[in-house]
Structure 1
Amino acid sequence: MASGCSWQRGVPIPDGVPPPAGDPVPAVRIDLKHGRPADQLHDWAAARSDALGIPVTALEAYGYAARVAQVLNPGCNLNWTTLAGIGMVESHHGTYHGAQILPDGTVTPPIRGVQLDGTSGNMHIADTDNGELDGDATLDRAMGPMQFIPETWKLYGVDANNDGNIDPDNFDDAALSAAGYLCSRGKDLSTAHGWMNALRAYNYSDQYARAVRDWATAYANGRSL
């Protein structure tokens, strides 16, 4: 489970749910050592940002994460539209409650979900990090623009902007970590079975998956909902 957000289960989603791929992400250098590699996608993201309603920095992060997945795990078939759909549902692309995205991808102030206390449709998740990551030493909370819980972040978190930190509040790190998590759980996201397995691992709710799919499909069609 990556997210602690509350989504009630709805009517099962029909087969064929994977959203379209959207505009292809240009080939970029996969750089694990120098600078912020997502900057390579600035022109691609800037040309689409307004129509999609996605901040440029967030769109760069989605595009780079998807491109890395395509290169390092081509059998996963993860598209940036799925990452963008998740980012919209989870945090309004890192802008929830007035948060802003800095040029290096850091979201400030940090976005934290509610305490995962088992109420209002949430799971009960006792503290797993002594509050080190999520700031809560009593119960876990989902963190950052992609709303990872601490336990999942410890397993899948990566440094995508080469600043030496693995930070759930950095969009680049969060998006690439989400890509790795989705591919690990869904295997092949071009199939209905694989895509639903990945989304249900992220948040076990058909209503959640439906919302992600609807946003991702809109983005693939070059617009916002």
Structure 2
Amino acid sequence: MKKIALTLIPVLVLVLGLPLAIALIVMTVSAPAAAEQLRTIACGGLTPVTGAWRPPFAQAYTVGRRGFGQEFHPIYHEWRMHTGQDLVSQPGPGPVVAIGAGRVAFAGTKGGYGNVVDVQHIDDATGQAVLSRYAHLASLTVRTGAQVTGGQQLGVEGSTGASTGNHLHLEIHVGGTPVDPVAWMLAHGAPLNGQAVASWTPPPGEPVQEGGLGFPLPPAGTPRQASLTNPPQPIPADIKGLYVAAADRYKIPWTLLAGIGMEETAHGRNNTISSAGAQGLMQFMPATWATMGVDGDGDGRAVITNDADSAMSAANYLTKSGVANGPAGVRAALFAYNHADWYVNDVLYYAAAYGGGTVLGSTTECDPGQGSPNLPPLTNDRLRVVLTWAASQVGDRYIMGANGPDAWDCSSFTQAAYAQIGVTTPRTAGAQRDWLAAGNGFRVDPQQARPGDLIFYDSYLGPNTIGHVAIVFDPSKQSTVEAMNSERGVTYGSYAGKAATKTIFQIWRVGNISDQPTRPAV
């Protein structure tokens, strides 16, 4: 185990020794249901590439049955050491890409490997030399000595060498010794879970969040209406200041607010009550204002005709409508603002004209849900694995965007903790909550929290967006184990009082699920 504060060892022993709180909860679940692992419900969208490492495919793939260790060879018909992991892209053979930046140490034909590429890397976290090998390729697109970036194509999946069908044989060598690619990739924030990944990364200077994530505002589509004949107008300096202030509070691109302002009133130039009764700079209906109006100028009142209040309320409305939930979430939030496809495309057209921008959110998209309260909770043995691993990381650093093995941000820490038991969660805190709500868990009353539950609340992403996640450690003391911040790193914390001070405060329980579920013996 890593660094565990001596004063907290009694708490750790209590939790890992299956405290009464866990025992009582588990006893309420029938034995067969509690033992059954159900299949994880995957969300739509793309898995974002985070950190220095990524899977060797951009497209979806399956993880083959032949993994690291002694395996029966399908050609030589004998047990041999299999020093890698077999992967098969879907729906058919696809491009193979580098798992990280490095130099091509070899590209050519090598015995039973067939066409193979070896890439030499340096693991920034440990300083160790790492070699990744990609075998059985149909063709190669790089030469020995070439410098490659993570995600750069190396060749095309094939069946050359001692192979019985199209697949990629992936090997990882650390210090010259082969290691299990599944375990190594998991520890480095790039689990081999079969999901397609996004290739976009924010331009230099653009804001990012956990894992370096973010996505550009989606482009305007068709149909469009006003933007076909009304070009974007210059934004008065005072109005732009209101857009920027509102965007900063709610952490969205100011250009998105400018797009709405241009579409609605040309930034206040046509600021009259509409025929439908909408009012103010951003044209709110009074009924909508009653629930979405917020004070934008600090005078303690939310006035529908006040420009500062109107801009701030538009940002409030968009974030409450899910603007950070991937590109589809942006379009859905704009559609909620005004129910017309042409309106959505007009606003996006104007936003792009004013400079576009990055939305701090995940490209992983989960359908809205309320969770599955009838799911059996994690069994005690699986819960013990999660908590033991989490406690063993205490003392590690907190770095925004880090994926381990010795530095984390809040969501990479919880993602890695649950990955220890074969559960792959999304990368950001908000996406993890949505993933639970999609059917992988259920919300619990804070008074009923148990060790291993996940706590979500708003933080750096503004009042309407989940920005932090922590693991309940000892509910009797309202303590957590979490990647807290850059000052405290991975540590034990507290959730006492947060329900009263946070706009969002939720506790969720992960169900007894697995990416590769098993059934109890009959």
Q: Give me the TM-score of the superposition, normalised by structure 1.
A: 0.53
Name stretches of at least 5 consecutive residues in structure 1 with no aligned partner. Answer: 1-19, 26-50, 71-77, 100-110, 117-140
Tell me the equivalent position of 1:149.
Answer: 285
**Within 5 Å, which residues of 2 pair with 1:64-103?**
64-70=245-251, 78-96=252-270
Q: Helix, strand or coil for the counterpart of 1:220?
A: coil
1:55 corresponds to which of 225, 229, 236: 236
1:182 paired residue number = 318
* Correspondence for 1:35: none
Which one has the bigger strand percentage? Answer: 2
Q: Which amino acid aligns with 2:352?
A: T
1:129 is matched with: none
Runs of 4+ in 1 over 6 A off after TM superposition: none
Q: Answer yes or no: is 1:112 the counterpart of 2:293.
A: no
Q: What is the CA–CA distance in structure 2 between the aligned matches of 1:52 and 1:151, rounded to whole Å?
A: 29
Higher helix fraction (1 or 2)? 1
Structure 2 residue aligned with 1:212: 347
What is the alpha-carbon distance in structure 2 between the residues aligned to residue 112 and residue 199 of structure 1? 20
The alignment-based identity, stated in percent, is: 39
Q: Secondary structure at the match of 2:301?
A: coil
Q: Please name the residue that 2:155 is paired with.
A: none
8 Å Cα contact 1:186/1:196 also seen in 2: no
CA distance in 1, matches of 2:321, 2:254: 17
- TM-fit CA distance, 1:162: 1.5
The superposition leaves residues 8-49 of structure 1 with CA deviations (integer Å, 9 ceiling, x where unpaired) of: xxxxxxxxxxxx99x979xxxxxxxxxxxxxxxxxxxxxxxx
Distance (Å, rounded) in 2 between the aligned partners of 1:160 and 1:187: 20
Instruction: Flag the 1:154–1:209 CA change in 2: closer, same or farther, 3 A.
Output: same
Secondary structure of residue in 2 paired with 1:186: coil
179-188 vs 207-216, which deviates more? 179-188
Provide the alpha-carbon RMSD of the alignment.
2.6
Whether the 8 Å CA contact 2:244–2:254 is kept in 1: the answer is yes
Counterpart Cα distance in 2 of 1:151 and 1:81: 26
Quote the Cα distance in structure 1 between the aligned partners of 2:295 and 2:320: 18
Runs of 5+ unmatched residues, structure 2: 1-201, 208-231, 357-522
Q: Work out which of the two has the higher radius of gyration on C-alpha atoms and give 1 or 2.
A: 2
Structure 1 residue 52, shift from structure 2 partner: 6.6
Q: Which amino acid aligns with 1:178?
A: A
Taking a change above 3 Å as real, the CA distance of residues 207 and 79 of structure 1, as seen in their structure-2 partners, is: same
TM-score, with normalisation over the residues of structure 2?
Answer: 0.24
| Inter-partner Cα distance in structure 1 for 2:323 and 2:331 | 11
